[in-house]
Structure 1
Amino acid sequence: MTVIVESLEPIALVGAGSLTKADVIEAQTFASRVVAADGGAAHCLAFGLLPEAVIGDFDSIPKAVLAEIPADRLFQVSEQETTDFDKALRSVTAPLTIGIGFGGARVDHFLAALNSLVRAANTRCVLLGGEDVIFVCPPELQLELEADTRVSLFPMADITGRSTGLEWPLDGLRLSPSGRAGTSNTATGPVHLSFDNPGMLVILPRACLSEAVRALQASDARWPALGA
């Protein structure tokens, strides 16, 4: 897919799901540049933001919203094989993307967002919303967490790995979406994670957003691009 936005700085990617002013403020703490995924453009305008690009199939953007955005910032991708989040995430190149507005009442939409997150495991993307931050763990990751911090791990594939700093270590376990998961684990202090294959979602308390951003940007390890 063609790169539409190329940035040396983190990008805030806004979706059409549930969104609060706090989400916008926190995302912009780390990412001043804003891109909208389809209907997320309406959220942007409501919070006084003009996205530098709107990417999607445009099936959920009111005409009034489209009229307020310059035509050279509108990028319609008509194919229906992927979600708008997927389209936007694949069209942005940045050291880190913070996604907001990709959760909410529609569980199917949220599951689709997690699917897209895993499919783009070679990128650095953090989803922020509700009580959590969620991201795909790179091959290795060091998290500077305080003892008793909740660390939930949910495998989106059959995965093996190792850990230090968790109350219940991962060593010797085979984790799977239809088998053993790793939710509601607890840090005993700084946590080191390493995995043999991509697809492990790390879910931390919202208060850990800053540390998640730091840790992902500090990690040099990356999974290969999908299909590589």
Structure 2
Amino acid sequence: MTRFAILLGGDLTVTARLRAQIRGARVIAADSGMMHAATLGLMPELWVGDFDSAGSELTMQYRDVPRESFPAEKDATDGAIAVAEAIRRGATEIVLLGGLGGQTDHTAGLLGQSIEIARKGLACLLSSGIEEAWPVIPGSMEVALPPETRLSIIPFSDLEGLDLAGVKWPLLKRSVPLGSTLTLSNVALGPVRIAVSSGHGVAIAYPPLEFHV
């Protein structure tokens, strides 16, 4: 498995859990996402973007990192360009860091992008350090969550045949229409299994504060 961590420009809280999730990952920075490299103790193998928000200090500090520049007026975000490059370099798993909790349009777009990544057959995790998200597509997956983690599943389309196990309020073969709040604010008892027969959405988790150290 080849794991890539993509550094994005949003807020990031560095926790022991997050460090474990990116251990051994290859790294690509998207524009100002490079600001997280030093805190994480990582050296990206590539820096992509239009560099309109990277800052001259970062440019000097990481002047030896290979760069690919793109015009500011383009048809993809810097993060999407970084993901495409990770896939081109053989990624089988992508961790998107710093993309949650910021501007709603960018966050929603990134969640949608994670679904497309999953449809390509790649594992995908989004994390801000205190908030985590996974794409939900037809099939099943197990998510390692600490007990008492708040967990929600947000349908991006009608979900059919949803199974949810390892939670306080389990579900079996449930239909969850787009816009339903049935799957908000469940509680993990430990590892959680999520399965769905059709449709797509995202699972969002908030590990307890004691895991944010």
TM-score normalised by the chain length of structure 2: 0.75
Correspondent of 2:94 among 64, 79, 97: 97
The answer to whether the aligner puts 1:194 opposite 2:188 as a matched pair is no
Instruction: Measure the CA separation in 2 of the matches of 1:83 and 1:181.
Output: 32
Instruction: Measure the CA separation in 1 of the matches of 2:17 and 2:148.
Output: 28
Instruction: Measure the CA separation in 1 of the matches of 2:123 and 2:177.
Output: 22
Unaligned runs of 5+ in 2: 209-213
Matched to 2:136, the amino acid is: C
Q: 1:146 to 1:52 in 2, by over 3 A?
A: closer
Matched to 1:201, the amino acid is: V
Stretch moving more, 112-121 or 64-73:
64-73
The answer to whether the aligner puts 1:162 opposite 2:162 as a matched pair is yes
Instruction: Measure the CA separation in 1 of the matches of 2:85 and 2:18.
Output: 24
CA-to-partner distance for each residue in 1:138-187, whole Å, 9 max, x for gaps? 421134667654331111222212315241415231331x3445111234
CA RMSD of aligned residues (A): 3.2
Secondary structure of the residue aligned to 1:115 is helix
Q: Which residue of 1 aligns with 2:140?
A: 140
Q: 1:81 to 1:181 in 2, by over 3 A?
A: farther
TM-score normalised by the chain length of structure 1: 0.71
Instruction: Measure the CA separation in 1 of the matches of 2:39 and 2:33.
Output: 10
The answer to whether the aligner puts 1:120 opposite 2:113 as a matched pair is no
Instruction: Measure the CA separation in 1 of the matches of 2:190 and 2:39.
Output: 40
8 Å CA contact 1:38, 1:59 repeated in 2: yes
Correspondent of 1:53 among 23, 32, 46: 46
Instruction: Measure the CA separation in 2 of the matches of 1:188 and 1:203.
Output: 15
Unaligned runs of 5+ in 1: 1-7, 208-228
Secondary structure of the residue aligned to 1:44 is helix
Q: 1:21 to 1:194 in 2, by over 3 A?
A: closer
Aligned length: 200
Secondary structure of the residue aligned to 2:76 is coil
Secondary structure of the residue aligned to 1:11 is strand
